[in-house]
Amino acid sequence: MKSVSSVHAVIVTIGDELLIGQTIDTNSAWLARELNKIGIWVSRRVAVADDSDAIRKALDEESRNANLIIMTGGLGPTADDITKPFLCQYFNGRMIINEEVLAHVKQIFEKRNRPFLERNLKQAEVPDVCQVLFNEIGTAPGMWFEQDGKVYISLPGVPFEMEHIMEHVGLPRISEQFNTPAIAHRTVITAGMGESFIAERLVDFEAELPAYGSLAYLPGLGMVKLRLTLSGIDHDAINNEADRLFEILKNKVSDIAVTDTDEGIEVVLGRMLKERGLTLGLAESCTAGNIAAAVTSVPGSSAWFNGSVVSYAYEVKAKVLQVPQEVLDRTGAVSEETVYYMASNARTLLDTDIALSVSGILGPDGGTPDKPVGTVWMAVADANRVVTKKFNFHYKREQNTKMAVYAGLDFIRRFMLGLV
């Protein structure tokens, strides 16, 4: 039976490693996204140290306004994993052995042919005041506590274990416990126009949104996500209205839209290549294989991606990609002529339908007055034409690299659509 009409959720991540930057907190992002899918907005995300006082203070403060508190981290068998004994004390419980968890932990150690240590027995200990959220793929169970009409969930910090528990046990149970509104998100990803210019174009659209709707601008390197959000009681009505408004939004940005799904441009490009039965090759200099890494992150990319030549040195450009030495001597590696030869010759060398080449100066050094840091030349070639383009990026090396990767993938996409 659903006991609460609205949900105020908070995520508390526990671990010194999060606070010193040793580990990046991906758990909060995943949890917030998955909770939102079932109609729950996360109001706060808090990171605390492996310290009982810090955890106690966080729970005391967050429980004043939240009725769903989800914690991750600190459930391991070592001395620095203090979350479980702290929660036992916090909720006035006592530790007991959960026989189902114990059998599971022992089975894991037997399968891995490892000795079962005394400290591993602690993985099967849980407070008697919690309900166990069984962890089928790890040794640390999740725990569900209820107090004063509020739900507290404690989960392992290991991302794939946390996600498995929530997908199979936690999220379904939260949906049963709480009444949640309908939330509909629709996302279009754009490229080639800045956030402020897009906002000017959409002034009338935003003015006509209903009170229960909003449009968010989410700028990134080389792109801007536009997220339309509607919320209400009737799931069908909210989704139908979201679909109607989304069509209007897409029409207003059709010339700069990359995709109408929240997905990476590498996924979009891969789908286009696969649908057309085309193959892609790359000749990378300054991006040093990062574009290849992006395209091969897409499952099934072997169907449309043949390979890449990382031609960082002049010698590789000349000997492998057959860029004429005269061109390299006269124009340098970062030039329109060089990337022209790199793309056209890579297409032949890698036996592909399309090839992209990239050569530039990403920084922090290497720039000249006529070729400052951030100057990048690219070319895309097929059997009929070679199109070149010069880009100028204005960030540090890491950001310039990411900009070049995104710009290269979008350049191929626009080339295939006849937009360049």
Please tell me which residue, 75 or 78, carries the higher pLDDT value.
75
Cβ 413 vs Cβ 228: under 8 Å: no
- As for how many domains the chain has, the answer is 3
Predicted confidence at residue 111, as pLDDT, reads: 82
Please tell me which residue, 75 or 184, carries the higher pLDDT value.
184
d(C-alpha 138, C-alpha 107), whole Å: 11
Q: How confident is the model at residue 104 (pLDDT cuts 50, 70, 90)?
A: confident
Quick one: angle between helices 397-416 and 265-276, nearest 10? 30
Please, which contacts does 288-295 make with residues 24 or more away whose CB atoms are closer than 8 Å?
288/312, 290/401, 290/404, 290/405, 291/356, 291/358, 291/404, 291/405, 291/408, 291/409, 294/264, 294/266, 294/405, 294/409, 295/266, 295/269, 295/270, 295/409
Average pLDDT of the chain is 93
Predicted confidence at residue 113, as pLDDT, reads: 81
Predicted confidence at residue 63, as pLDDT, reads: 94
DSSP state of 324: -
**Is the pLDDT confidence value at 105 over 90?**
no
> Of 259, 290, 316, which residue is a domain's last?
259
Domain membership flag for residue 207: yes
Domain membership flag for residue 1: no
The amino acid sitting at 107 is Q
- The angle at the Cα of 390, spanning 317 to 363, to the nearest 5 degrees, equals 70
> Do 269 and 412 fall into the same domain?
yes
The amino acid sitting at 163 is E
Q: Which residues of 223-241 are buried (b: 16+ CB within 10 A; e: fewer)?
A: bbbbebbbbbeeeeebbeb
**Is the pLDDT confidence value at 4 over 60?**
no
Predicted confidence at residue 62, as pLDDT, reads: 96
CA distances from 206 to 73, 198, 260 (A): 41, 12, 18
pLDDT, tens only, 348-370: 999 999 999 999 999 999 999 99
User: Which of 414, 359, 366 lies closest to 222 in space, CA to CA?
Assistant: 414
Q: How confident is the model at residue 317 (pLDDT cuts 50, 70, 90)?
A: very high
The kind and range of the H/E element at 142 are strand 142-147
Domain with residue 238: its CATH number is 3.30.70.2860
Predicted confidence at residue 375, as pLDDT, reads: 97
pLDDT, tens only, 88-103: 999 999 999 999 988 8
169 phi and psi angles, rounded to 5 deg: -130, -55
> Do 292 and 348 fall into the same domain?
yes
> Do 145 and 235 fall into the same domain?
no
Predicted confidence at residue 3, as pLDDT, reads: 45
Q: How confident is the model at residue 377 (pLDDT cuts 50, 70, 90)?
A: very high
Domain span at 356: 265-416
**Is the pLDDT confidence value at 269 over 80?**
yes
Q: Are strands 9-14 and 257-259 parallel, antiparallel or unpaired?
A: unpaired
Predicted confidence at residue 318, as pLDDT, reads: 96
> Do 307 and 220 fall into the same domain?
no
Domain with residue 382: its CATH number is 3.90.950.20
DSSP string, 2-48: --BSS--EEEEEE-HHHHTTSS---HHHHHHHHHHHTT--EEEEEEE
> Do 41 and 172 fall into the same domain?
yes
Lowest-confidence region among 32-36, 135-139, 210-214, 295-299:
135-139
> Do 173 and 211 fall into the same domain?
no
**Is the pLDDT confidence value at 379 over 50?**
yes
**Is the pLDDT confidence value at 72 over 80?**
yes
Predicted confidence at residue 179, as pLDDT, reads: 84
pLDDT, tens only, 40-67: 999 999 999 999 999 999 999 999 999 9
**Is the pLDDT confidence value at 19 over 50?**
yes
> Do 286 and 380 fall into the same domain?
yes
Predicted confidence at residue 79, as pLDDT, reads: 72
pTM of the entire structure? 0.76
d(C-alpha 249, C-alpha 87), whole Å: 48
Domain membership flag for residue 3: no
> Do 143 and 248 fall into the same domain?
no
Predicted confidence at residue 306, as pLDDT, reads: 98
Predicted confidence at residue 122, as pLDDT, reads: 79
Domain membership flag for residue 352: yes
**Is the pLDDT confidence value at 1 over 80?**
no
Predicted confidence at residue 77, as pLDDT, reads: 74
Domain membership flag for residue 395: yes
pLDDT, tens only, 185-223: 999 999 989 999 999 999 999 999 999 999 999 998 889
Please tell me which residue, 407 or 112, carries the higher pLDDT value.
407
> Of 196, 224, 259, which residue is a domain's last?
259
Domain membership flag for residue 2: no
> Of 177, 196, 215, which residue is a domain's last?
177
pLDDT, tens only, 289-302: 999 999 999 999 99
